[in-house]
Structure 1
Amino acid sequence: MSTTAHEKTPYYYVPAPSRHPALGAVGLFFMLLGAGNWMNGITWGKYSFVFGLLWFLVVLFQWFKEAIGESESGKYGRRIDISFRWSMGWFIFSEVMFFGGFFAALWWLRVHSVPSLANAENALLWPEFKALWPSVVAGVTAAPAGIIEPFKAMTPFWLPTINTALLLTSGVTLTVAHHALLAGNRSKTINFMWLTVILGLVFLCVQGYEYFHAYSDLNLTLASGVYGSTFYLLTGFHGFHVFIGMLMLLFITLRLRKGHFTPEHHFGFEGAAWYWHFVDVVWLGLYIVVYWL
């Protein structure tokens, strides 16, 4: 962004009324309508979901393109920058609460729900039941009533550990790219950003192979009791966040190649970096709680 543009930056830029929120709501409506009917076996549900998703993505593309144009034309000054930082901070806080709910559910199941099933009343119904978490004691992964097929719990070796190394390394490469941007070294910034994007993509590929291994070799599925449902809920939602974060970093890298961002004005870069570091921290919690404990 040029110095001349910033000299003409308004105190606080207020955009004109936009069509994008209403159009985005239309896409979300068809997505939710389709998803609900699809899950209930109605054929047209999947078509409604795909239509809504494509509609929503087109709206987002146009919306973000306008926002980028406003930024690069010098309309975003210090006040807007502060506003963006508060907004991103609250968004990440909401994501902390989102995953906090899942971690709390896992804790409640392990500490309260499963042990309570071993009381005297349930012992009469299922005398062979053991109130032990499958990842702690092997061999207690089948329901006494025979409604759940035997399965094996996922261990930290070696796929989850490899993914941990990948995400930690991506955090380092992203930090190097940030410092290179602050130093005005655009080529180094772009190279390390590409490396970060590649590491995120490899993480997703490894997780996909981990799910294949879990289904085919361990018989660990969504139907594998509360252990299976919480395992896929936590790791699956995290994988989705990695995918979103990887896309954010990809588009930031493409913008860097176009000459966007300067050492003084680059919140778009910083916001994506905050999100990626948040994703890294969440994975460390998952790695310990889901795979080790």
Structure 2
Amino acid sequence: MKAQYEKYYVPEQSQWPIVGAVALFLIAIGSGLAVMQTAKQQGGVGFYILLLGIAVLLYMLFGWFKNVIDESQGGLYSAQMDRSFRQGMAWFIFSEVMFFMAFFGALFYARTFAVPWLGGESNNAMTNEVLWPSFEAAWPLLSTPGGGETRAMGWQGLPLINTMILLLSSITLHFAHTAMEQGKRTQLKAMLALTILLGVIFLGLQGEEYVYAYQELGLTLDSGIYGNTFFLLTGFHGMHVTLGTILLLVVFLRIMKGHFSEEKHFAFQAAAWYWHFVDVVWLCLFVFVYVL
């Protein structure tokens, strides 16, 4: 008896990877220029380059989504292709875990080793005397060698509210997933729409938190290692929440058009995996950046 082989769909050549690369290049250049120009309190094109990069990235995402959706709805995917998608999404989330581990590692190193050493601990008295004689080892660092002063962002208020919002969004997404598996389309649409709304609210409150940090606390990217790690971790997390919200929005629009079934809905699962990952990262971030 001959073995039965499944057909494996190989997509056509696509322009989307190079479009995405251009978008990320523009975002990197625009972000760097915008930060430098803001620090110097000068106008410039950095912010506009950043917006252009974001616009190109959104164009790439929706264009690529459209191609994949058309292929899926055209019946071109097999069970083998579905396994490839699952493995690809799992490896992608793993790479994102490593991405955030690098920044959490930098925070851990600064708090556990660099700050105590600079304060003279572990036989590093000369380091303290030579580099910063008046330095006192404490976290968060609220002063810089240049004489800049800032205030710490507390865990109460907006950070705590945002934590509750993301936890609630994971619950509503779970109910949406359960509704998908049970074929309850009305409940599915309502719970998924609520999850997207919570994501948008989270981003809005994070923007408000940044305004408060800059205007009221004097907490900026120039605020030494504390300001650097704070904005890098919370900023990159906000970027991931934005991407997760876009993924859920695309899935929601597909559901409104009647896509997916109780048995086949991996696009929904992939977006849900990513959203739960983002929520877990925020819990770690809330504890190690805000509370401890």
| TM-score, shorter chain, exceeding 0.5 | yes
Aligned to 2:67: 66
Residue pair 1:193, 1:249 contacting (<8 A) in 2 also:
yes
Q: Per-residue deviation at 1:131? A: 0.9
Aligned to 2:100: 99
Give 3-state SS (helix, strand or coil) of 1:263's partner: coil
Segments of structure 1 that go 5 or more residues without pairing to the other structure are 1-9, 135-139
- 1:16 aligns to 2:22 (yes or no): no
What is the correspondence of 1:1-293 to structure 2 with a 5 Å cutoff?
11-29=7-25, 32=28, 50-119=51-120, 120-125=125-130, 126-134=132-140, 141-143=142-144, 145=145, 147-293=146-292
- Whole-Å Cα distance in 2 between the matches of residues 98 and 133 of structure 1? 24
How many correspondences in the alignment?
A: 277
**Cα displacement string for residues 242-261 of structure 1 (whole angstroms, at most 9, x for unaligned residues):** 11111111111111111011
Aligned to 1:3: none
Q: Per-residue deviation at 1:24? A: 3.9
Q: Per-residue deviation at 1:43? A: 5.3
Residue pair 2:31, 2:50 contacting (<8 A) in 1 also:
yes
- Whole-Å Cα distance in 1 between the matches of residues 268 and 45 of structure 2? 40
TM-score by length of 1: 0.86
Cα separation, partners in 2 of 1:261 and 1:30, compared to 1, 3 Å: same
Task: Name the amino acid aligned to 1:210.
Answer: E
Aligned to 1:137: none
Q: Per-residue deviation at 1:236? A: 0.8
- Whole-Å Cα distance in 2 between the matches of residues 33 and 220 of structure 1? 23
Aligned to 1:7: none
- Whole-Å Cα distance in 2 between the matches of residues 228 and 128 of structure 1? 20
- Whole-Å Cα distance in 1 between the matches of residues 205 and 110 of structure 2? 28
Cα separation, partners in 2 of 1:57 and 1:77, compared to 1, 3 Å: same
- Whole-Å Cα distance in 2 between the matches of residues 71 and 170 of structure 1? 28
Residue pair 1:148, 1:224 contacting (<8 A) in 2 also:
no
Aligned to 2:3: none
- Whole-Å Cα distance in 1 between the matches of residues 86 and 224 of structure 2? 41
- Whole-Å Cα distance in 1 between the matches of residues 210 and 198 of structure 2? 19
Residue pair 2:170, 2:275 contacting (<8 A) in 1 also:
yes
Q: Per-residue deviation at 1:47? A: 5.5
Cα separation, partners in 2 of 1:149 and 1:93, compared to 1, 3 Å: same
Give 3-state SS (helix, strand or coil) of 2:217's partner: coil
Residue pair 2:173, 2:192 contacting (<8 A) in 1 also:
yes
Residue pair 2:117, 2:128 contacting (<8 A) in 1 also:
no
Residue pair 1:38, 1:46 contacting (<8 A) in 2 also:
yes
Residue pair 1:31, 1:52 contacting (<8 A) in 2 also:
yes
Cα separation, partners in 2 of 1:192 and 1:163, compared to 1, 3 Å: same
